[in-house]
Amino acid sequence: MARSTNTQFAVAVHVLTMLAGVTDGRAMSSEELSKSANVNAVYVRRVLGHMRNAGLVRSRPGVNGGWELVADAAQIKLREVWQVLQGDEPVLGLHGPDPTCVTGRSVQKSLASIDRTVADAVATALGYFTVQDVLEGVPDAAQLLNAE
């Protein structure tokens, strides 16, 4: 029920992986990237803009322009991608209880604290994966369980 409908993270990982897969030194255009991710090119530019602000990619306009990875794909943790997009926004959906209700305020505070704990857990989990891992293919959760 509480699915996130925001695909920025998925799209970011997708296009970063595409860029990591470039063998010749050429740049990829937002148009090209958007085709594979099946989203709009403007959207790709917006998402990659955040990645550029974080120093993960560079872009240049014009003929043969486009986007390139700056860092080594094996050094880019998905944790960083997540944090660039997520910032300090809550992970759990928080509500706005009646400010005059004592219990309501207390619950609100607790939920905010719990949200930080969960956000840390998400960040830690995403720290296990790099763009290089995605490029090589992260094994199935089921496979991982069997391997234990």
Partner DNA sequence: TCAATATGTAGCTACAATGATTACGAATTA
Partner DNA sequence: TAATTCGTAATCATTGTAGCTACATATTGA
Q: Should residue 49 be labelled a site residue for DNA when binding is judged by CB under 7 A?
A: yes
Q: How far is the CB of 111 from DNA (least distance, A)?
A: 13
Residue 31, SS3?
Answer: helix
Under DSSP, the state recorded for 40 is: -
Report the C-alpha dihedral over residues 80, 81, 86, 88, rounded to 10 degrees.
Answer: 10
Helix ranges (DSSP H) in 54-101: 78-86
Token code pair at residue 10: 């998925």
59 binds, among a second copy, DNA, none (CB under 5 to 8 A by kind): DNA
Tell me the per-residue interface mask from 40 to 79 with a second copy, x by CB under 8 A, - otherwise: ----------x---------------------------x-
End-to-end, the C-alpha distance of the chain in Å comes to 31
Of the candidates 108, 110, 114, the one whose C-alpha atom is nearest the C-alpha of residue 92 is: 114
Which residue in the set 40, 74, 75, 109 belongs to the binding site for a second copy (CB under 8 A)? 109
Which residue in the set 22, 43, 90, 104 belongs to the binding site for DNA (CB under 7 A)? 43
Of 44 and 73, which CB lies nearer to DNA in the complex structure? 44
Q: Should residue 9 be labelled a site residue for a second copy when binding is judged by CB under 8 A?
A: yes
Which residue in the set 6, 36, 75, 106 belongs to the binding site for DNA (CB under 7 A)? 6
